[in-house]
Amino acid sequence: MVTNLGACVPDDLLVDEVRRIRPDAVVCSTVNGHGRIDGARMIRRLRADPDPDVAGVPAILGGKLGIDGDRDPGVLSELLEAGFTTVFTDQARPRTSISCSVA
């Protein structure tokens, strides 16, 4: 069962929906090159939630993370450090990515 929250999800809405739905995982797609900034802000907000089940939900980010493509390797570790369980650049193939994230 997939619940799709649509485009430009505000941080509060994401946290409220995680609290309400209690999903197995949160998957975020980013396409505008601001994933590095917005993803880090969003995941810190989620990880800081007082409810450990909400704060601990596995969260996956994938897409265009920066405006310069994949040329900056620091972006992946930065986003993992901020709290994502897994991060994919938009060069990842969907099938490989799915098996990776399930493993």
In the complex, what is the shortest distance from the CB of residue 16 to another protein, in angstroms, rounded to a whole number? 14
- The dihedral sign for the CA sequence 59, 62, 66, 71: positive
Distance from C-alpha of 74 to C-alpha of 94, rounded to nearest angstrom: 22
Here's the x/- map for another protein, 32-71, by CB under 8 A: it reads as: xxx--x--------------------------x-xxxxxx
User: How many chain residues bind another protein (CB under 8 A)?
Assistant: 20
Q: What is the dihedral of CA 61, 64, 39, 101, to 10 degrees?
A: 10
Residues that bind another protein in the complex, under the rule CB under 8 A: 4, 6-10, 32-34, 37, 64, 66-71, 90-91, 94
